[in-house]
Structure 1
């Protein structure tokens, strides 16, 4: 049976010599859907409907650059010997944590320039970000990347997965953990939780901090199954370390902001 399994074509279509990959289409769809949700929520919160499109003009390219820089830093042994490959982002090699760091810094500066609360923007964006991440992982699925260690077909069948997922996890003669799926499901659950929390009288900033904690916890455990992790040391995975740090920082910010009264504003008390 395995000999007849063919992977899904990662190329969606071609326009002359230009090949359009499913990865890019899926990532673009996730960004577009997240942007639509953010625009609708920003209008409901009394912000201009242009605020997020304007922010994205800066955040997307900066996120791509910072995601690449992050990846290159953790693969410096290779890139220090092959510096011309640093700019070859089309060959793969970006990291979501790098993108998040770049995006958050961009949003903070943008909010200051527009005289808008950074925390308000971050709270509005949080569900959109995690939804985009959930969708984006299916780009990894199409590329047969970001998977976990080797498993049996019976293991995957016992998860009651459809055949198209099981077959796509058959790579170079072996089956692998569909870690893309684990993280996507975790992110979808997180998205639903964040949407439900919009009905709760939350303190300003705590929607975003909830996102950071939820995503980081899930990423920590999923990362432990992956075979392509960026490593800090021989045994220390970068994404797991960053996830622990983010959870700690988010908890500290939540507590300090409450103690200092920075998060006293609640969204259902008045229009904020």
Structure 2
């Protein structure tokens, strides 16, 4: 009687992280980031419309936030992993090759908020209103962006024998191809915890929780949804950073991103406690005597109901200070 052998389950990783179209090299990492930006922008615009804003306002703000965010993300990566680009024998120009991977979310969010603040001021929308509208989309964008790490065969945890272990190849970042062994097969470095997948699923779950439950049911005050985004993301990121086995700079034995996650979690929680009782803001644009706009607090009615008030006025509008 033969003993059946169970198949060895694992999550495969791509052996190709780029492809060429004429003289152009297209990186899947960049495509994942781009897909995340598109989905996040769509959701942010939809949620801003629900708060009385317009798609044009959302896109105007996003056009400022995205390039600032990309620059900020790259700066954070280069600063915290400076040994990869500076020093004897290092390729200084590699610091500019963002398509090869390397974006720090903390720098992206920080400088992205600066860009969003500029765009919000130009469009007459409060930054807190836009940040609340964009928070779930940010989580979706980060979750999609993590699949770029899957294509690059990076961001994994300790070796494991779990059925969902991740197969990792030895990748050549320049060619975008897996290094092949003497027999022509791709070199396999081993099987590891798929921390990229854990983080992607966490972002999806957190976005659903913020969008489908908390924000709709409890309608927290202006800025508090974004504060919850900080809390939710950093709680997961703290755990995933503890699981990762790829090289990173450390402080007192912990990865830099672990420290940053913990500090931002406490900051976000404090912000939420301070902001949750504030009035929930909404963008209601209408002509004022000076040709400007008024941003009003959300009184629970839809933008259409506001516009149906006789004589084009709404006595319940109150300009936010």
| TM norm structure 1 | 0.84
Partner residue in 1 for 2:211: 195
d(CA) in 2 for partners of 1:86, 1:112: 32
Please state which structure has a larger fraction of its residues in helix. 1
d(CA) in 2 for partners of 1:104, 1:89: 20
Change (3 A) 1:78 1:167: closer
1:177 aligns with 2:186: no
> How big is each residue's C-alpha offset from its partner over 1:144-181, in whole Å with a ceiling of 9 and x where there is no partner?
111111112xx1x1xxx4xxxx5644663310110011
Partner residue in 1 for 2:223: 205
Partner residue in 2 for 1:265: 280
| TM-fit CA distance, 1:213 | 0.1
Partner residue in 2 for 1:117: 126
| TM-fit CA distance, 1:229 | 5.3
Are the aligned partners of 1:30 and 1:132 in contact in 2 as well (CA < 8 Å)?
yes
d(CA) in 1 for partners of 2:65, 2:272: 25
Are the aligned partners of 1:229 and 1:237 in contact in 2 as well (CA < 8 Å)?
no
d(CA) in 2 for partners of 1:48, 1:124: 12
Are the aligned partners of 2:73 and 2:106 in contact in 1 as well (CA < 8 Å)?
yes
d(CA) in 1 for partners of 2:49, 2:275: 26
| TM-fit CA distance, 1:228 | 2.8
Partner residue in 1 for 2:48: 42
| TM norm structure 2 | 0.72
How many positions carry a matched residue from both structures?
Answer: 257
1:22 aligns with 2:39: no
SS for the counterpart of 2:54 is: coil
d(CA) in 1 for partners of 2:121, 2:81: 34
| TM-fit CA distance, 1:120 | 0.6
d(CA) in 2 for partners of 1:120, 1:53: 14
Structure possessing the higher radius of gyration over alpha carbons: 2
Are the aligned partners of 1:216 and 1:243 in contact in 2 as well (CA < 8 Å)?
yes
Partner residue in 2 for 1:245: 263
| TM-fit CA distance, 1:246 | 1.1
| TM-fit CA distance, 1:9 | 3.8
d(CA) in 1 for partners of 2:268, 2:116: 17
Are the aligned partners of 2:30 and 2:99 in contact in 1 as well (CA < 8 Å)?
no
Partner residue in 1 for 2:272: 254
- From 218, 221, 227, the counterpart of 2:239: 221
| TM-fit CA distance, 1:268 | 5.7
SS for the counterpart of 1:90 is: helix
Between stretches 173-182 and 245-254, larger displacement belongs to 245-254
SS for the counterpart of 1:193 is: helix
1:233 aligns with 2:239: no
Change (3 A) 1:234 1:170: farther
Change (3 A) 1:175 1:55: same
Partner residue in 2 for 1:62: 68
d(CA) in 1 for partners of 2:138, 2:116: 13
Partner residue in 2 for 1:151: 160
1:93 aligns with 2:99: no
> How big is each residue's C-alpha offset from its partner over 1:65-102, in whole Å with a ceiling of 9 and x where there is no partner?
11111112112345442444432333333212211111
Are the aligned partners of 2:228 and 2:269 in contact in 1 as well (CA < 8 Å)?
no
d(CA) in 1 for partners of 2:260, 2:275: 22
Gaps of 5+ in 1: none
